[in-house]
Amino acid sequence: MELVDLEASHPKDARLQAMKGSVYLKLGKAQLARESWQKALALDPEDPAVAEALRTLKEE
């Protein structure tokens, strides 16, 4: 996955982690999506879209 390659060169990019989470969710990999979104929130705790995505995932 190209996003994984990008992560190596941009490990502190919250948007990249958020995108990874969305891609993983679309691939049916909820646990990997959750992990990526948690990393994104750790890097940018003020991102409401990522926080909402995590809440929605926990409700499912």
Q: What value does the mean pLDDT take over residues 1-14?
A: 81
Q: What value does the mean pLDDT take over residues 39-55?
A: 95
pLDDT for 49 beyond 90: yes
- Give 18-29 pLDDT, tens digit per residue: 999 999 999 999
Nearest Cα neighbor of 14 from 31, 34, 39 is: 39
pLDDT value at position 1?
Answer: 58
Q: How many domains would you assign to the chain?
A: 1
Range of the domain at 28: 12-59
Residue 3 within any structural domain of the chain: no
CB burial readout 15-28, b (16+ within 10 A) else e: ebbbbbbbbbbeee
pLDDT-derived band at 10 (thresholds 50, 70, 90) equals confident
Instruction: Give one word for 28, left, alpha or beta, with left for phi > 0 and alpha for psi -120 to 50.
Output: left
Residue 54 within any structural domain of the chain: yes
Nearest Cα neighbor of 37 from 17, 10, 12, 11 is: 17
- What's the mean per-residue pLDDT of the chain? 91
